[in-house]
Amino acid sequence: MLGICLCEVFGCSSVSRTPTYSRYFHNHPLMASRQAQKRLNKEYRAIATNPPPFIEAKPNDQDILEWHYIITGPPGTPFEDGQYHGILRFPGDYPFKPPSISMVTPNGRFTCNTRLCLSMSDYHPDTWNPAWSVATILTGLLSFMTSDEATTGSIVTSDSVKRRFARESKQWNSTEDSRFIKHFPEVARKNREEIAAKQKADAEAAALAAEKAAKMAAGGGASGGEKPFVPPDFSTLDSEDRARLLVEENGGGSRVLSLICIMAAATVAVVVHVFKS
C-alpha cells in the first residue's frame, strides 16, 4: 500500500502556500468527531497537493465525512482512459474505523452504488489500520479494480464490455451523474468540450469520406484527376485500325493489351470457323 508522510508534505514553508479548506473544518455533521475533522482536512490538503497517480478526491462541501473521487483508467488495462466516479463515506470516529466504498459510474467491474467488500472498507473493520489514508484507500481500490479478484459488490464481465464502459464513462458522468456534475464542475465542463470536439471531428471525417466516395462513384472509380477509361467504338474500324487506335490513344496500357488479346482471339475464332465450313 502507498502512504503519504504529511510531515514531509506540509513543512513550515509549504503550509503558507497551501490553500485553506476551513469550510470543511467548520461545516460538518454533528456526528463527526473533532479528530475526524482534523484528520480529513489534513488528508484533503495532502491529496490536493500530491495526488496519487490516476486519482482525484475531495470532500463534499456540506459534509466532510462524504468524499467523492475520480479514478482514471490506467493505460494497458480494459479501463484505459475511463473516468470512474465513486464515494467514500467515513464514520464519525475515523480514523479508528474504515469508510464504506462504492462506485457510481458504470464500469463492468463493480456493481454501481453498492458497498464494496475490501480489506480497507467498513466490511472489514478488524483489518483496518488507522495509519491508512484516503490516498492509501483509493490506491488500494485502483489496484483491486484492475485485478480479477472477486468480492462482494464485484461483477464479472468481458474486457470488451469494460472497454465500452470506459469509452462511455465521460459522457455518462457529464450527463447522467448529477453528483459528479455538482462536485466536479470543471471536469464535467472539460468532458463536454472534449466530447463535442470529438463529435465534430467524426462528423467532418464522415463528410469527407462521403464526398470522396461520391466522386469515385461519379468517376467510375478514377482518382487523382484521372479521366475514366472509355473504350472507343470499334464497329466502323477494321482490325488493323482498331489495334493502332488503341495503342495511340492509351499508350499500350494493361487494359489496351487485354482488349487487343480479346480482339485477336475473336479474329482467330472467326478464321477457324470459316475454314471448317
Rounded Cα gap, residues 38 and 101, in angstroms: 21
Q: What does the DSSP assignment read for 40-97?
A: HHHHHHHHHHSPPTTEEEEEETTEEEEEEEEEEPPTTSTTTT-EEEEEEE--TTTTSS
Question: Positive or negative CA dihedral for 142, 145, 149, 151?
Answer: positive
DSSP assignment letter at 191 = H
Rounded Cα gap, residues 195 and 199, in angstroms: 6
Rounded Cα gap, residues 245 and 256, in angstroms: 10
Q: At what angle do helices 134-145 and 34-49 cross, to 10 degrees?
A: 60
What b/e string do you get for 105-136 counting C-beta neighbours within 10 Å, with b at 16 or more?
Answer: bbbbbbeeeebbebbbbbbeeeebeeebbbbb
117 flagged as catalytic: yes
Rounded Cα gap, residues 55 and 57, in angstroms: 7
- Which one of the listed residues 5, 7, 112, 117 is annotated catalytic? 117
Supply the residues annotated as catalytic.
117
